[in-house]
């Protein structure tokens, strides 16, 4: 995808079409925390365009997905895990779309992860039944929502990291006359969530075993603190250290007579490290589907740039003003990108991006490989793919330069 250069106003009729058809096709507004039952199929299914449309004619900023690159990523992960005992359970917080989750399941994923209850509601509404909610849920309202999901699908699971939470879920499941599968989340060193390994984790397992309405589903040991460490060898060492402790805990549980069917770990940064560790069953990689600036910078096994997977998620923006020489302003700022990292131009070198406020970004020229003028459009690699996607209502899926479908970001804003 190269920057589309041309005279201002060249595509007025096309832009008019896009504004009325593409921009409005799925311009839904979803409100309220209990929205899954009211979401409806229109907010989940892909939309085909009535007429061909060029990706460069989209109203900007636009979130676009390169289908060729994304499909390559799906196939590469599928091929990598083929024949291994470790299977893919992708984390859908990356894309928040049942459409994309189904594509991952079609490429041999055994289920999915969600970070929040509301994301799980969207995924279940979208026809996906095997869902692991990877963050603890402790309030009565959310516990009840988890129980309702479990009543609809026995494949819904939740993590727990304290005994009082086990008691609350057991009571709620008993009242609903249903069963719920729970995984123990171990603290691998993030000091964010999870229970201390050793006796605290074993006591928690005993509490689950004594709960008639709960079943023990296994262990989650996500080492998020190592996913973005730079340098493959260093990242490998740190991930193996974190998982060694989790494996020891798993073996202690088994020695005590418990079956531990699942050890769910890892992410995109350690997919080719964790998948080969004996005892690991699930790999929670998510960003591999899209990639972003942050992941590209951590380095691959033999390369300075992490290029195991291709960037497939981009934002198209328009150059709208040039008050001074040496830089130009585009219409994509803090509201268009996650701000924890800086976006990067896709196909133009010698140009750097910096945030210029809520609505604006500044492109600064050093030795640009292509001239950028007011009215031109550029493609930028997402700074942080999951947090960037949550800013948009839809993905525009394109091949070559032709938009093929619109995919609603059905889980956008669902952080409850």
For 153-186, write each residue's pLDDT tens digit: 999 999 999 999 999 999 999 999 999 999 999 9
Domains assigned to the chain = 12-66+308-408 (2.40.37.20), 69-292 (3.20.20.10)
Peptide bond into 249 cis (omega under 30): no
How far from the centroid of its chain's Cα atoms is residue 28's Cα? 21
For 285-333, write each residue's pLDDT tens digit: 999 999 999 999 999 999 999 999 999 999 999 999 999 999 999 999 9
Distance, in Å, from the CA atom of 105 to the CA atom of 89, rounded to the nearest integer, reads 9
For 50-59, write each residue's pLDDT tens digit: 888 999 999 9
Q: How confident is the model at residue 38 (pLDDT cuts 50, 70, 90)?
A: very low
Give the pLDDT of residue 51.
Answer: 83
135-141 own/partner pairs: CB under 8 Å, 24+ apart = 135/159, 135/193, 136/160, 136/161, 136/162, 136/165, 136/185, 136/193, 137/165, 138/165, 138/168, 140/168, 140/172
Task: Using CB atoms within 10 Å of the CB of residue 315, give its burial: 0 to 12 exposed, 13 to 18 middle, 19+ buried.
Answer: buried
Q: If you average pLDDT over residues 347-365, what whole number do you get? A: 97
pLDDT reading at 211 higher than 70 = yes
User: Which pTM value belongs to this model?
Assistant: 0.89
pLDDT reading at 32 higher than 50 = no
Residue (of 266, 272, 267, 254) closest to 295 by Cα position: 267
Beta-carbon contacts of residue 365 (< 8 Å; ≥ 6 apart): 326, 327, 328, 350, 351, 372
Q: How confident is the model at residue 44 (pLDDT cuts 50, 70, 90)?
A: confident
Give the pLDDT of residue 13.
Answer: 30
Contact status, residue 98 vs residue 128, Cβ threshold 8 Å: yes
Q: If you average pLDDT over residues 361-388, what whole number do you get? A: 96
Give the pLDDT of residue 43.
Answer: 66
Percent of the chain surpassing pLDDT 70? 90
For 220-239, write each residue's pLDDT tens digit: 999 999 999 999 999 999 99
Distances (CA, A) of 329 to 22, 338, 348, 378: 25, 18, 16, 11
Q: If you average pLDDT over residues 9-38, what whole number do you get? A: 35
pLDDT reading at 377 higher than 70 = yes
Give the pLDDT of residue 2.
Answer: 54
Distance, in Å, from the CA atom of 269 to the CA atom of 80, rounded to the nearest integer, reads 14
Could you tell me whether strands 282-283 and 313-321 are parallel, antiparallel, or unpaired per DSSP bridges? Answer: unpaired
Give the pLDDT of residue 52.
Answer: 80
């Amino acid at each position: 995808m190269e920057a589309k250069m041309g005279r201002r106003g060249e595509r007025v009729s096309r832009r008019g079409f896009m504004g009325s058809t593409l921009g409005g096709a799925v311009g839904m507004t979803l409100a309220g925390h209990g929205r899954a039952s009211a979401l409806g199929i229109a907010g989940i299914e892909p939309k085909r365009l009535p007429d061909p449309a060029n990706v460069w004619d989209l109203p900007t900023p636009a979130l676009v997905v390169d289908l060729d690159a994304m499909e390559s990523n799906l196939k590469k992960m599928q091929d990598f895990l083929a024949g291994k005992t470790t299977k893919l359970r992708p984390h859908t917080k990356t894309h928040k779309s049942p459409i994309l989750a189904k594509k991952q399941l079609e490429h041999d994923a055994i289920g999915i992860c969600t970070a929040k209850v509301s994301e799980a509601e969207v995924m279940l509404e979208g026809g996906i039944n095997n869902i692991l909610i990877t963050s603890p849920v402790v309030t009565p309202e959310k516990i009840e929502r988890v129980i309702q999901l479990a009543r609809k699908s026995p494949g819904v699971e939740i993590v727990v990291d304290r005994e009082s939470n086990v008691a609350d879920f057991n009571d709620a499941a008993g009242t609903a006359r249903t069963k719920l599968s729970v995984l123990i989340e171990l603290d691998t060193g993030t000091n964010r969530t999870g229970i201390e390994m050793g006796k605290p984790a074993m006591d928690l397992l005993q509490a689950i075993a004594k709960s008639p309405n709960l079943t023990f589903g296994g262990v989650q040991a996500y080492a998020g603190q190592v996913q973005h460490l730079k340098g493959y060898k260093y990242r490998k060492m740190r991930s193996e250290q974190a998982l060694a402790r989790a494996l020891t805990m798993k073996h202690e549980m088994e020695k005590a007579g418990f079956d531990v069917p699942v050890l769910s770990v890892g992410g995109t940064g350690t997919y080719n490290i964790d998948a080969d560790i004996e005892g690991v069953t699930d790999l929670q990689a998510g960003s591999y589907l899209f990639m972003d600036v942050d992941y590209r910078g951590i380095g691959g096994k033999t390369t300075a740039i992490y290029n195991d997977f291709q960037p497939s998620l981009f934002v198209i923006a328009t150059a709208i003003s040039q008050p001074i020489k040496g830089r130009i302003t585009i219409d994509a700022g803090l509201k268009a990108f996650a701000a924890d990292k800086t976006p990067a131009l896709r196909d133009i070198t010698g140009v750097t991006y910096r945030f210029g406020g809520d609505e604006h970004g500044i492109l600064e020229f050093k030795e640009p490989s292509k001239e950028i003028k007011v009215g031109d459009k550029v493609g930028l690699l997402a700074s942080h793919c999951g947090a960037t996607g949550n800013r948009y209502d839809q993905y525009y899926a394109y091949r070559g330069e032709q938009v093929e479908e619109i995919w609603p970001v059905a889980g956008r804003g669902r952080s409850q």
